[in-house]
């Protein structure tokens, strides 16, 4: 009788433990998802800003059609890549970052444009959006690291295996272009 | 980062338990003194009363503490369009820290640079900065300061320091009432203790007095120690979020150089600022300061050469103070190495003048701003009766935009 009770208690404890670990994994996975959607929001905002920026700059930068076209193209590539997987999207977005960086370098040669009130406020929005993208990415990678560590380590890995929790992908800057390109500086 | 928050919660929990015990002991001491005939009942009643006082104070500060503090500081809420840069920076740090909701942003009209955060929950928080801060700091520095405040919110410091502050307050009020009451009652009815007061009652009296004197000191020491540790942790959090410790370091330099005695007299508010305005001149750490000395904080931040993680902060701290560090092992459990980014602000960043920052306040208050070609800026109140305004410097006459005219003035201008 007593051994029966002990057995039931032990099973109950194990069950609670397993449920706790499972819930922990779910919570972490949701945090990863949430962090990813943050990146998406910021990338979308960046896509929305660029047409305005190009439109404002057009009037001042008549001789820089290549730069403007490059940034427009990079934007449309990035828009197309939305939802096509982490690696793909990261690549398109870092190309866009590179194009924006080059554009900002060129802007230095146009003092009139730099004095334009509309452009100034767009510039602040763009700087901030660039920051937000990288902070969101930073946060996403932090979350992925925590989640992946949990999925890999004993004893949660058993639960993760049983319920098919897969490691999440890091948002990495594959393209060396962004590293080479000067940072967006104002 | 999550480990840091959890370990912080654990520590804070025990701190509050300890403080509540001191409060209960004080209640017991007072009760047993007042009910001389029946000390056991006295202890019970005393503890009960102390807890009721505590709970009422907690209820008030949790339901409207943030509003009271912001009002005391004279803070005015702003939206994105009032001050895009400030609002954007707060949003950036909200994202970097993974807060669930955007904190509200406030500006305080004061030329002394400082900032604080309030909020009992991460999804009901607010950040307030002074106009002096906005006009003096560049983007990176402002980001460092905001990140420090956001770190306070995400570490739940704003919550626990409210809790701890209220407990200290309850202890001080009770002890104060007791000692004063005893002083006056001993003047008026000294006869009571004459005949039936035995040895026991004398002992109880002495113990009560000692507890009443020690309790406020003890809770305040606990509070201060905890507050200092949290400032270090928030500095470390700021470096971690921004990946740029130098931003906060140079911001702290500017803030500490520009403090003024007259900034605030509020003892509740003062410890919440990024640099305590009542103790800005203090050079060394002591038991009674709420913040580590600013020099020390700057030195640690400047010492972070290897990276911007919590671990790097701990290493820099050890490099200066030696010993076992300040953040503790459990906080650093899941901290990983991360690099330092390069400075973002370039030297050409438009210098913000105090005037530009004031304009933000005016805009937030609903004034219209009209800039004359000679450079003079005119403030137009809402619902003005004048459809034209003359520049006081060059005499050019400007039309007032429609949205600032009163109904009567609009009718007049249409008649013409």
pLDDT over 50 (residue A13): yes
Measured between beta carbons, the chain A residues lying within 8 angstroms of B98 are 31, 35, 139, 142-143
Residue with the bigger pLDDT between B197 and A95: it is: A95
Residue B392 has pLDDT above 50, yes or no: yes
Q: Which residue among B149, B253, B314, B349 is the active-site one? A: B149
- Contact list, A121 vs chain B (CB under 8 Å): 84
CA B80/CA A113 separation, integer angstroms:
23
Calculate the dihedral angle through the C-alpha atoms of A49, A54, A55, A59, rounding to the nearest 10 degrees: 150
Q: Tell me the percentage of chain B whose pLDDT exceeds 90.
A: 24
**Which residues, 6+ apart, have CB-to-CB distance to B159 below 8 Å?**
B119, B120, B121
Task: Check whether B238 has a pLDDT greater than 60.
Answer: yes
| pLDDT tops 60 at residue B347 | no
Report whether pLDDT(B263) > 60. Answer: yes
Considering only residues A146 and B52, tell me which one the structure prediction assigns the higher pLDDT. B52
User: Does B179 score more than 70 pLDDT?
Assistant: yes
- Which residues are CB-contacts of A153 (< 8 A; sequence separation ≥ 6)? none
Confidence bin at A145 (pLDDT 50/70/90): confident
pLDDT band, very low/low/confident/very high, at A94 (cuts 50, 70, 90): confident
Task: List the single residue in A131, A149, A186 with the smallest CB-CB distance to B346.
Answer: A186
Residue B123 has pLDDT above 80, yes or no: yes
Say whether B149 is catalytic: yes
Taking the domain A30-180, which CATH number applies? 1.20.1440.20
Assign A104 a pLDDT band (cuts: 50, 70, 90).
confident
Side-chain half-sphere exposure of B232, counting CA atoms within 13 A: 28
Contacts of B346 in chain A (CB under 8 A): 185-186
pLDDT score of A185 more than 50? no
Tell me the shortest Cα–Cα distance from A145 to chain B, in angstroms.
9
pLDDT (0 to 100) of residue A5 = 93
**Distances B231 to A22, B228, B314 between C-alpha atoms, Å:** 35, 5, 13
Residues of A in contact with B96 (CB under 8 A): 135, 138-139
Measured CA to CA in angstroms, residue A163 lies from A26, A31, A157 at distances of: 10, 18, 10
Which of A135-139, B188-192, B217-221, B318-322 is the least confident region? B188-192
In B331-390, the residues whose Cβ lies within 8 Å of chain A are 334, 336, 342, 344-346, 348-350
Average pLDDT over residues A131-153: 86
CA distance A70 to chain B (A): 24
Quote the percentage of chain B above a pLDDT of 70: 89
Interchain CB contact of A123 with B (< 8 Å): no
Per-residue pLDDT of A76-93, as tens digits, reads: 988 888 877 777 888 888
Q: What interface predicted TM-score (ipTM) does this complex get? A: 0.77
Of the pLDDT bands very low, low, confident and very high (cuts 50, 70, 90), residue A186 is very low
Tokens of B305: 């050469």
Per-residue pLDDT at B374 exceeds 80: no
Provide the residue ranges of all domains of chain A, joining segments of one domain with +: 30-180
Say whether B89 sits in a helix, a strand or coil.
Answer: helix
Q: pLDDT digit string (tens) for B19-56?
A: 999 999 999 888 888 877 777 888 888 899 999 999 99
Q: Is B84–A121 a contact, with Cβ atoms under 8 angstroms apart?
A: yes
Percent of chain A residues topping a pLDDT of 70: 92
Chain A CB within 8 Å of residue B81 CB: no
């Amino acid at each position: 009788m007593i051994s029966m009770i002990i057995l039931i208690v032990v099973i109950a404890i194990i069950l609670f433990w397993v449920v706790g670990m499972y819930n922990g994994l779910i919570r972490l996975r949701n945090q990863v998802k949430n962090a990813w959607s943050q990146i998406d929001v910021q990338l979308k905002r960046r896509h929305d800003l660029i047409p305005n920026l190009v439109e404002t700059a057009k009037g001042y930068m008549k001789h820089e059609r290549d730069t403007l076209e490059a940034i427009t193209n990079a934007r449309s590539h990035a828009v197309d890549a939305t939802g096509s997987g982490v690696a793909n999207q990261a690549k398109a977005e870092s190309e866009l970052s590179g194009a924006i960086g080059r554009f900002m370098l060129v802007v230095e040669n146009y003092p009139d444009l730099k004095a334009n009130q509309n452009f100034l406020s767009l510039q602040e929005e763009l700087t901030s959006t660039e920051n937000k993208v990288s902070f969101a990415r930073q946060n996403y990678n932090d979350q992925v690291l925590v989640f992946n560590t949990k999925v890999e380590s004993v004893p949660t890995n058993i639960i993760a295996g049983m319920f098919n929790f897969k490691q999440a992908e890091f948002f990495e800057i594959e393209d060396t272009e962004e590293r080479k390109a000067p940072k967006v500086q104002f | 980062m999550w480990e840091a928050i959890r370990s912080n919660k654990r520590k804070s929990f025990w701190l509050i338990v300890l403080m509540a015990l001191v409060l209960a002991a004080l209640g017991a001491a007072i009760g047993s003194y007042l009910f001389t005939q029946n000390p056991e009942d006295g202890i019970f009643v005393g503890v009960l009363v102390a807890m009721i006082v505590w709970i009422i104070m907690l209820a008030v500060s949790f339901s409207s503490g943030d509003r009271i503090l912001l009002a005391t500081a004279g803070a005015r809420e702003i939206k994105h369009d009032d001050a895009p840069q400030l609002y954007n920076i707060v949003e950036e740090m909200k994202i970097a820290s993974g807060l669930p909701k955007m904190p509200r942003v406030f500006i305080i009209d004061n030329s002394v640079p400082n900032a604080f955060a309030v909020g009992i929950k991460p999804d009901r928080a607010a950040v307030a900065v002074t106009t002096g801060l906005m006009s003096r700091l560049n983007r990176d520095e402002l980001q460092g300061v905001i990140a420090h405040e956001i770190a306070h919110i995400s570490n739940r410091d704003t919550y626990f320091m409210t809790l701890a502050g209220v407990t200290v307050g309850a202890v001080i009020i009770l002890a104060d009432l007791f000692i004063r009451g005893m002083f006056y009652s001993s003047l008026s009815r000294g006869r009571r203790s004459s005949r039936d007061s035995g040895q026991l009652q004398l002992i109880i009296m002495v113990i009560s007095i000692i507890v009443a004197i020690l309790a406020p000191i003890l809770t305040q020491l606990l509070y201060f120690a905890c507050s200092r540790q949290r400032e270090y942790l928030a500095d470390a959090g700021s470096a971690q979020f921004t990946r740029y410790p130098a931003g906060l370091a140079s911001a702290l330099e500017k803030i500490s150089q520009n403090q003024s005695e007259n900034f605030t007299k509020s003892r509740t508010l003062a410890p919440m600022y990024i640099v305590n305005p009542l103790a800005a001149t203090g050079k060394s750490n002591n038991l009674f300061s709420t913040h580590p000395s600013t020099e020390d904080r700057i030195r640690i931040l400047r010492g972070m050469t290897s990276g911007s993680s919590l671990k790097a902060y701990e290493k820099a701290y050890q490099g200066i103070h030696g010993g076992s560090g300040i953040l503790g092992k459990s906080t650093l459990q899941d901290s990983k190495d991360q690099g330092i980014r390069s400075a973002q602000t370039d030297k050409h960043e438009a210098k913000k003048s105090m005037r530009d920052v004031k304009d933000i306040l005016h805009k937030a208050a609903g004034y219209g701003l009209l800039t004359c070609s000679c450079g003079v800026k005119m403030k137009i109140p809402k619902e003005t009766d004048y459809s034209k305004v003359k520049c006081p410097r060059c005499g050019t006459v400007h039309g007032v935009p429609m949205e600032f005219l009163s109904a009567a003035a609009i009718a007049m201008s249409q008649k013409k």
